Amino acid sequence: MPQPSLIAIDGPVASGKTTVGQCLASKLSYNFLDTGDLYRAVTKLVIDAKVSNNNEVAIAELCNELTLVLSDNQTTRIIAFHQDISEHLHTEIIDSNVSFIARLPKIRSALLDKQRDMAKSGKLIMAGRDIGTVILPHADLKLYIEASAKERARRRWIQYGKHEGLYKTLLTEIERRDHLDSTRPIAPLKPADDSIIIKTDDMSLKATVEYIYHMYCFQE
Ligand code: DC
C-alpha cells in the first residue's frame, strides 16, 4: 500500500481528531489544516464586526478576508486583515456561535476552495466534519475518529481542570453541537462510505496515533 498523501480526518467535537491529525502530520512531516479553525475565524470576524448571524451575504463576504498560510512547523495559520488570528479562535463566545455559522450554505461554499487549494500539493492532513465526504472525496486515506459523548465530555473535563459541576455542562454542550453538526442539511457530520472508523473510548490519543501510523501510513 503506498503511503497516503492526502489524509482526511473527520469526527465530532472533542473526539481528538485535531490532536491525532497534528501528531500524525508531525510524524509524517506533512502539513496540517484544522478546518474547524476556518469556521471559527469567520465567526470571530462576525462577532468583531457585529454582523448579524442571519446576514449570510455579509458573512460570506467576510470569508474573503481570510488567508491560509503555512507556518514553519507545517501547521496552517489563519490571517485576517493582516493579522494572524489563529491563537484567538477558542473562546466561549466563538464556541457558542460557530455551529450556527457553519450551517450557512453560503459560508460553506465560500470556504470550499480555500480548503481544496491547500490540498493541491498533497502531503496534507485535513481535519474537520466533511473532509472525507465533501472537501476531499478523493483523499487517499479517510479516517473517522469517534468516542461516546460521555467520554468526550470526560476528556474535556480533565483538560479544563476537573471543576465540580463542569462535567454536566460540557456534556450538554457536546450533545448540542453534535446535534447541530449532524442534522444540518449541507455537509452534515458523518463518515464517508469509505472511511475507516476508529473508536477511541478505550484508547489514548497517543495509542490512536501509533495505531493509525502503523496500520495505514507507515512504509518500510
Ligand atoms: O472542530 P471545531 O470544534 O473547531 O469546529 C468548529 C465548528 O465548525 C463546529 O461547529 C463544526 C464546524 N465545522 C464544520 O462544519 N465543518 C468542518 N469541516 C469543520 C468544522
Please calculate the CA angle 163-167-170 and round it to the nearest 5 degrees.
Answer: 115
The confidence score (pLDDT) of residue 220 equals: 58
The confidence score (pLDDT) of residue 168 equals: 97
pLDDT reading at 70 higher than 70: yes
The confidence score (pLDDT) of residue 55 equals: 97
pLDDT reading at 73 higher than 90: no
- Quick one: what percent of the chain has pLDDT higher than 90? 91
Q: What are phi and psi of 56, to 5 degrees?
A: -65, -35
Q: Are 181 and 10 in contact (CB under 8 A)?
A: no
**Higher-scoring residue by pLDDT: 1, 178:** 178
Domains and CATH numbers, the chain: 6-215 (3.40.50.300)
39 lines ligand 1 (CB under 6 A): yes
Across 51-186, the runs of DSSP E, i.e. the strands, are: 66-70, 76-80, 83-84, 124-128, 141-146
Ligand 1: which of 66, 86, 129 to mutate, most ligand atoms within 8 Å of CB? 129
pLDDT reading at 219 higher than 70: no
pLDDT reading at 120 higher than 70: yes
**Higher-scoring residue by pLDDT: 3, 137:** 137
Which residue type occupies 154?
A: R
Q: Per residue in 121-147, pLDDT tens?
A: 899 999 999 999 999 999 999 999 999
Q: Per residue in 161-194, pLDDT tens?
A: 999 899 999 999 999 999 999 999 999 999 999 9
11 lines ligand 1 (CB under 6 A): no
Give the three-state DSSP class for 34: strand
